[in-house]
């Protein structure tokens, strides 16, 4: 088994302002006190450069990317642009972007490939709906979504997977450790099947209502290599205990 460092990523979604960047100081301090944990914050595009200038050892990332290099794609941002702005890792295929078919597995795969080609860490998100879980199809659906969304591994850039059950995002409902364990184990098997030994080095994050109260029990689950945190990443007061839980796990 490979030793994988824990990774805790804050996804600020469409929240944050210049004033919110003051949260980065205490978050970076907590990250320095947890040398075994990698910590990242993905603010909105407009704050990436400012955040990167005061990152203090945490990774700054982005929440989405366009798969093309450049061109007539109004409103879109490329991997090269994100890299130049100071992003080191980027989320691809978040369910809020996949929603209503705005992004297919194929698009997510192309986005992840573009990120890796530019040396950026790519976080590929997958997750089932409440209906899929109720029907008992969750593992099959998530593994199919994953296999459709994975790029080829290329170069040194790191691929990361985030399992975010849609019904747990922003709802206060979290997957139980047993539910997370079942899915992370299935994802690990799929990654090993696809990439062989390299698949066992890919970090798999859990996301969906992670907070200070549940982080430790989730991070203790085998194959849960950290978290992708929305609401509880907006303030250092809520995010720092999650970093501390990762350090202890």
Within 77-106, the residues that bind ligand 13P by CB under 6 A are 94
Question: Which residues does 227 contact at the CB level (< 8 Å), separation at least 6?
Answer: 8, 9, 205, 206, 207, 210, 215, 218, 219, 242, 246
Q: Are 113 and 96 in contact (CB under 8 A)?
A: no
| 11 or 78: CB nearest ligand 13P | 11
Q: Which two tokens stand for residue 148?
A: 């459709």
Active site residue 118: no
Q: Which two tokens stand for residue 97?
A: 């972007």
Within 148-207, the residues that bind ligand 13P by CB under 6 A are 164, 169-170, 207
What single DSSP character describes residue 13? -
Alpha-carbon distance of 4 to 225, in angstroms, equals: 7
Site map 108..147 versus ligand 13P, x via CB under 6 A = ----------------------------------------
What single DSSP character describes residue 176? -
Q: How buried is 139 (Cβ within 10 angstroms: 0-12 exposed, 13-18 middle, 19+ buried)?
A: middle
From the list 66, 94, 138, 184, the catalytic residue is 94
| 112 or 210: CB nearest ligand 13P | 210
Would you count residue 11 as binding ligand 13P (CB under 6 A)?
Answer: yes
Would you count residue 208 as binding ligand 13P (CB under 6 A)?
Answer: yes
Active site residue 138: no
Annotated catalytic residues are 94, 164
List of residues contacting ligand 13P (CB under 6 A) = 11, 94, 164, 169-170, 207-210, 228-232
């Amino acid at each position: 088994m490979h030793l994988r460092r824990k990774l805790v990523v804050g996804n600020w979604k469409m929240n944050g302002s210049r004033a919110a960047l003051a949260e980065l100081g205490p978050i970076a301090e907590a990250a320095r006190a947890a040398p075994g944990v990698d910590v990242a914050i993905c603010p909105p595009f407009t704050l990436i450069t400012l955040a990167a200038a005061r990152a203090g050892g945490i990774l700054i990332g982005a929440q989405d990317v366009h798969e093309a290099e450049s061109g007539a794609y109004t409103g879109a941002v490329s991997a090269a642009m994100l890299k130049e702005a100071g992003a080191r890792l980027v989320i691809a295929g978040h369910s809020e972007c996949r929603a209503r078919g705005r992004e297919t597995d194929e698009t997510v795969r192309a986005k992840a490939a573009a990120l890796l080609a530019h040396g950026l860490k790519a976080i590929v998100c997958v997750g089932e709906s409440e209906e899929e879980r109720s029907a008992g199809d969750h593992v099959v659906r998530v593994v199919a979504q994953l296999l459709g969304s994975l790029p080829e591994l290329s170069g040194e850039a790191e691929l990361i997977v985030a399992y975010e059950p849609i019904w747990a995002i922003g709802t206060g409902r979290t997957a139980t450790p047993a539910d997370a364990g079942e899915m992370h184990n299935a994802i690990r098997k799929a990654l090993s099947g696809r990439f062989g030994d390299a698949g066992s080095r890919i970090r798999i994050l859990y996301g969906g209502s992670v907070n200070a109260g549940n982080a430790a029990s989730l991070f203790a689950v085998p194959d849960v290599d950290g978290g992708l945190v929305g609401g509880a990443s907006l303030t250092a007061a809520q995010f720092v205990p999650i970093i501390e839980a990762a350090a202890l796990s």
